[in-house]
Amino acid sequence: MGALNQIDSSFIEKWSTENQVFIDVRSPIEFQQGHLPNSFNAPILDDAERALVGLTYKQKGNEEAVRLGYEIVSGANRQKKLETWKAILQKNPEAILTCFRGGQRSQITQKWLQEEGFERPLIKGGYKAVRQSVIDQIENVSQQWPFLLISGPTGAGKTPFLSEVIKFWPVVNLEGYAEHRGSAFGGLGTVQPSQAVFENRLGWDLFKAEKTLTLNANQEFFLPLIMEDESRLIGKCVIPDPFFFKLRESPIVWLDISIEKRVENTFDEYILKANVNEALFARYKKALSNIQKRLGGLQYQEILSIFESCESSWKSRGELEENKVWIKRLLLHYYDPLYFGSFEKRRPVVLFKGSVEETLDFLKGQKSKYKETAVSKKANPT
């Protein structure tokens, strides 16, 4: 094997904008703890095999550990790994190889694939190098870019609103990265990603947004980065400190939505669009139990009674509309006091307040103004 075919992690901006695919040959547990977007996990050693090689390294040194590794991944096992990598490359011929530091695992994978006629580069410095670039990008954006937040009470439809905004202005979808809707009832019934994966998704999109939001080649003027106004925690995922602090000091536009429409939005999102079954009711019942202290004993018991009646109605005759009753009670007696209390403490700058249509029109106008201002400043530097 000749010189290693390596590619530097500085290509991360290109990778993010081109949806680059990666073959990550680390063990499944390492991959779960943190990986790059668009990665396939095709390990050269599984968790048990890696643990055995690691133990050998500690007890007998590197030479014996390497020998054992080759022994484990040989014969039929080696061929099985090769077929897996080749199958990925046949569908993704531009895929790039990576392990943790760009060391033996990705180098061996590269060599074996080369012997099969597949020439693919590996990342110099591996996942660790790219991960550091992601962390740096999050901090850089937090320091240099303006943010603009979409705010409003629970049920205002902020997430669907962002899906309209993204048609003309790049947005950061924090709840999407976290796979959680951010509220006590916001779990999707699936396991959330690790903290590192959440941050990698955020950083990846920040690299992707940079070209779109930069208003001149010198990167002096940026369009504000638009996102939903979030709490620090989105389920179990934590917004990184620099990013969250910037979020908290940023101006907002406020979706002014009636309580009736908010109930409809919440019912649509959490009931009609959900897979209504016993597990869903059990999950919501647990979420209700988790907030009973904030609700107070009497309010909790009353809402629980309504909730259980709704569950019975669904089981007996498939009725769902009655769920709007407990949804409205929760909005008025739990979410609104929580949201407006936090809002009063923060006292953010409110740039605009209006309906969905009015706020969309406002943002479209703002985008034009930002661009005009940037062009003016560039033409007449002070």
Residue 99 appears among annotated catalytic residues: yes
Catalytic pick among 7, 99, 122, 263: 99
The answer to whether the CB of 172 falls within 8 A of the CB of 205 is: yes
In terms of Cα–Cα distance, which of 86, 80, 126 is closest to 102?
Answer: 126
3-state secondary structure of 47: helix
Q: CB within 8 A of 35, min separation 6: which ones?
A: 22, 24, 26, 41, 127, 196, 197, 200
∠ Cα 160 164 170 (to 5°): 110
Q: Which of 336, 134, 122 is nearest to 243 (CA)?
A: 134
Q: How far, in Å, CA of 248 to CA of 227, rounded?
A: 12
Q: How far apart are CA 57 and CA 51, in angstroms?
A: 10
Residue listed under structure tokens 């669009």: 273
State the alpha helices, DSSP H only, in 34-188. Answer: 47-60, 62-72, 75-91, 104-115, 126-144, 158-165, 174-178
**Are 223 and 233 spatial neighbours (Cβ–Cβ below 8 Å)?**
no
Q: Kindly list the catalytic residues.
A: 99
